[in-house]
Amino acid sequence: MKSKDSFSRYSRQIFMEEVGIAGQRKIMEAKVVIVGAGGLGSPAIQYLATAGIGTLAVIDADEVEIHNLQRQVIHTENYIGHPKVHSATQFVQTINPDITFIPIHKRLDQGNAFELLKDYDIILDCSDNFETRYLISDTCILLQKPIVYGSILSFEGQVAVFNYQGSKQLRDLFPAPPDDADNQNCDRLGVLGPLAGIVGSMMALLTLKMTLNLPVETNQLTVIDSLHWKFHLIEF
């Protein structure tokens, strides 16, 4: 991509005093991996790709199902039955073909987590179960990598940053999974689609702030109650 075209594409963030050309270079040199190409991963992929994150990888083993389309906005009916990472690849190539996009059609597990996460600057936890969240957290502690965490259920969303510049980690907030963790998921209790967009976009914004070395609140969980339109900050 020509530098002139690149400036035009990213001009509205380059014009920001906190970004500028130097900040845009940082964004274009960053390497980010997203675990999960679903409700949270979809808006995160969209906004990080359009911002120009230089290398963006997505890890997901699932295929697109019709019920995903209510909230997983990067996927379409044409990709039902196909891997989500393949659908994500097509989406990214359409909106910003100049970034390096790496689709990883695998399920993150104990045997591959270290290898799959080690080459990235920031890890986004867009998973939907505590087993995977703990695996991401424990691996990132070993790798000394920061995590941007998000979760959604029904009307409630949560966002936090873990293991960043000496901050606390997931197990400091959740030493053990909630007693009803296995029953607390979207398959059982549902979720309104726009909430996924809100939380996933917040995760993308935090990722860009970290890339730009802008201030990021740590040791704090943001809880979004979209039913009553309230935001709560929980220190931990």
Domains of the chain, CATH where assigned: 3-235 (3.40.50.720)
Show the tokens assigned to 152: 């959604």
Reported confidence tier of residue 185, pLDDT bands at 50, 70, 90: low
Q: Is the pTM here over 0.85, yes or no?
A: yes
Dump pLDDT digits (tens) for 70-83: 999 999 999 999 99
pLDDT at 2 (0 to 100): 54
Contacts of 221 (CB under 8 A, 6+ apart): 158, 159, 160, 173, 233, 234, 236
Reported confidence tier of residue 110, pLDDT bands at 50, 70, 90: very high
C-alpha–C-alpha distance, residues 145 and 140, integer Å: 5
For residue 181, is pLDDT > 80?
A: no
Sheet hosting strand 147-153, strand order edge to edge? 100-104, 55-59, 31-35, 122-125, 147-153, 156-162, 220-225, 230-235
C-alpha–C-alpha distance, residues 213 and 206, integer Å: 10
Dump pLDDT digits (tens) for 135-167: 999 999 999 999 999 999 999 999 999 999 999
